[in-house]
């Protein structure tokens, strides 16, 4: 909203109004406002949650310090959502298809988590929203996201094409960048690292590419569901999911900036995604919201994000990665989420296998997800969280390095 106001003021030659044209300035403002909202108004929201008795009901898992968490306000994800949505609406261009996509995704994913928390807290049902309804909600979001990315004419990419013409510096970009609607993505660590989803079915018939959405949209649904649930699984220790998400957000900000800037895209020899630079403003608010929420969520937590926050954070990361064509890098920069998810899958599968074969179920980990395994081994909660953050930073650096390491 403020973008359009300052654009008008700039037309009137008001001094300083033109600064709002710069994505870097609006991103910085987005981060600051997001931090202020989460830190300043967070306390008021926590008091409100206290008055409404929106407290966490903790199952007894025999973990150290677990009983102290009983009654801690939950649904703090509302702080995160407000800290993302308000700065984005204020500082981003609201006619940008990618911003519209992220706003829709954030609201819908937050709504799914809110319903789950509402059932747990106010309906006194510890199970919350039934798993199948969560999946249905995530599939619905995936359908919307996949359809927008595939069918909307505003979602395009530009590739460098070889030319034998001698061009002037001023005309160079017009000559060497070719815009198209293809659904290509980036393969990490590979030279000439672009992959078109349409190639998966172009063998079956002549007009197969017209039906590439039958491949693309299910992949989108799977990615959003997997990452959203991965963040939800990681949200088990004070500050773990929040800090990890902030680290991932910074990584995505780098990818969005270079992908939406012709100079960096040219230098790094990556696909240029027109208008995607505006996403940096959104992800700035995302990082600010996560860091600001840590003010109250770090050990010992004064508030938990609940599913309102965790499902939204994971889903936002997935949708953002899809928008900037970096979804195949998700297993790297979301490695902490992946490990947490895999630990649960391995634990359950091995337990069922051994119970069926030997009549007695055995476990690979002392407890799953993985962070609880280390708690059982006697590690303090803060140490586990700090080390997971360190792993997250290492994975983030590795992901950014893929821009040149091929």
Q: Is 374 inside a domain boundary?
A: no
CA distance 83 to 38: 6
Smallest CA-to-CA distance from 317 within 270, 250, 384, 239 is with: 250
CA distance 275 to 256: 10
The CB-side HSE value for 186 (13 A sphere, CA atoms) comes to: 30
Cα-based torsion angle of the residue sequence 2, 6, 9, 13 in order, rounded to the nearest 10 degrees: 170
Q: Coil, strand, or helix at residue 37?
A: helix
For 254, residues 6+ apart whose C-beta sits below 8 A from its C-beta are: 400
DSSP 300: S
Structure confidence at residue 61 (pLDDT): 61
Q: Is 176 inside a domain boundary?
A: yes
- Domain count within the chain: 1
Q: Coil, strand, or helix at residue 196?
A: strand
CA distance 94 to 261: 19
Structure confidence at residue 208 (pLDDT): 65
Structure confidence at residue 151 (pLDDT): 92
Burial 159-175, CB ≥16 within 10 A → b, else e: bbeeeeeeeeeeeeeee
**Per-residue model confidence as pLDDT tens digits over 343-386:** 999 999 999 999 988 888 899 999 989 999 999 999 999 999 99
Structure confidence at residue 183 (pLDDT): 81
Please give the C-alpha separations between residue 71 and each of 47, 162, 194, 305, in angstroms, as whole numbers: 13, 63, 50, 13
Q: Where is 194: in which H helix or E strand?
A: strand 194-196
Q: Is 27 inside a domain boundary?
A: yes
Residue 13 Ramachandran class (φ > 0 left, ψ -120 to 50 alpha, else beta):
left
CA distance 205 to 254: 39
Structure confidence at residue 234 (pLDDT): 93
Q: What residues make up the domain containing 244?
A: 22-325
Largest Cα span, the chain: 80
Parts of the chain with a pLDDT under 70: 53-68, 161-176, 205-206, 208-209
Structure confidence at residue 397 (pLDDT): 96
Structure confidence at residue 176 (pLDDT): 63
Structure confidence at residue 64 (pLDDT): 61
Structure confidence at residue 125 (pLDDT): 79
Q: Is 351 inside a domain boundary?
A: no
Q: Is 115 inside a domain boundary?
A: yes
Q: Is 382 inside a domain boundary?
A: no
Q: Where is 247: in which H helix or E strand?
A: helix 240-259
Pinpoint the alpha helices (H) of 152-185.
172-176
Q: Is 320 inside a domain boundary?
A: yes
CA distance 229 to 403: 27
Q: Is 297 inside a domain boundary?
A: yes
Main-chain phi, psi angles of 206, to 5 degrees: -65, -45
């Amino acid at each position: 909203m403020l973008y359009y106001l300052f654009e008008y003021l700039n037309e009137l030659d008001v001094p300083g109004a033109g600064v709002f044209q710069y994505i870097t300035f609006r991103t910085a403002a987005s981060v600051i406002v997001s931090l202020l909202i989460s830190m300043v108004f967070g306390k008021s929201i926590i008091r409100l949650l206290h008055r409404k008795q929106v407290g966490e009901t903790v199952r007894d898992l025999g973990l150290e310090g677990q009983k102290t968490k009983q009654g801690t306000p939950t649904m703090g994800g509302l702080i995160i959502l407000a800290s993302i949505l308000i700065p984005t609406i204020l500082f981003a261009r609201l006619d940008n298809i990618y911003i519209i996509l992220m706003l829709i995704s954030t609201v819908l994913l937050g709504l799914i988590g809110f319903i789950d928390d509402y059932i747990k807290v106010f309906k006194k049902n510890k199970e919350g929203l039934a798993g199948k309804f969560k999946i249905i909600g995530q599939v619905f979001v995936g359908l919307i996201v996949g359809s927008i990315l595939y069918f909307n004419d505003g979602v395009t990419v530009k590739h460098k094409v070889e030319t034998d013409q001698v061009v002037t510096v001023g005309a160079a970009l017009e000559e060497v960048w070719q815009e198209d609607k293809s659904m290509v993505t980036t393969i990490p660590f590979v030279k000439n690292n672009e992959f078109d989803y349409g190639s998966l079915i172009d063998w079956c018939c002549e007009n197969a590419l017209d039906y590439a959405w039958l491949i693309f949209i299910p992949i989108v649904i799977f990615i959003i569901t997997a990452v959203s649930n991965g963040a939800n699984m990681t949200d088990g220790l004070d500050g773990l999911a929040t800090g990890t998400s902030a680290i991932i957000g910074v990584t995505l900000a780098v990818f969005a900036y270079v992908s939406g800037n012709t100079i960096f895209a040219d230098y790094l020899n990556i696909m240029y995604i027109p208008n995607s630079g505006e996403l940096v403003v959104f992800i700035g608010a995302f990082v600010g919201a996560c860091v600001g929420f840590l003010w109250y969520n770090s050990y010992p937590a004064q508030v938990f994000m609940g599913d309102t926050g965790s499902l939204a954070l994971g889903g936002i990361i997935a949708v953002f990665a899809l928008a900037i064509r970096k979804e195949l890098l998700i297993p790297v920069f979301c490695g902490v989420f992946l490990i947490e998810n895999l630990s649960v899958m391995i634990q359950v599968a091995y337990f069922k296998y051994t119970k069926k074969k030997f009549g007695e179920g055995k476990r690979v980990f002392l407890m799953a997800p993985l962070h609880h395994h280390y708690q059982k081994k006697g590690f303090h909660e803060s140490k586990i969280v700090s080390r997971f953050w360190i792993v997250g930073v290492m994975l983030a650096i590795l992901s950014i390095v893929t821009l040149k390491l091929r």
